[in-house]
Amino acid sequence: ESMMRTLITKTACDFMRMGLDAQGAASGAVNMLSNILGTEAGIIVVDNQGGVGFAKNTPQMPHAYFKKGMSEPVAEL
């Protein structure tokens, strides 16, 4: 599994530590994986402020989240 070999979740955390928000970290991590290995993947990232980020380079990846203050969950393909 390329996501495990590249420590993609740690990469996303490192991007947030460098100042990116959850969306920036998710996009950066998937772009890095795609550029290095050409692998299809997706990731959902939640930062310490409750921000949610999602990125994928696949045709479809179901994802959903619901957080405080939302009246409806977000659910997409």
Any idea what the CATH number is for the domain that residue 39 is in?
Answer: 3.60.20.30
Most confident by average pLDDT, 1-5, 14-18, 42-46: 14-18
Distance between CA atoms of residues 45 and 28, nearest Å: 11
Alpha-carbon torsion angle 46, 30, 1, 52, nearest 10: 10
Structural domain count, the chain = 1
User: Within a 13 Å sphere around the CA of 59, how many CA atoms are in the beta-carbon half?
Assistant: 0
**Structure tokens, 37:** 């290995």
Domain holding 30, by residue range, is: 1-76
Which pTM does this prediction carry?
Answer: 0.84
CA distance 73 to 1: 30
pLDDT at 20 over 90: yes
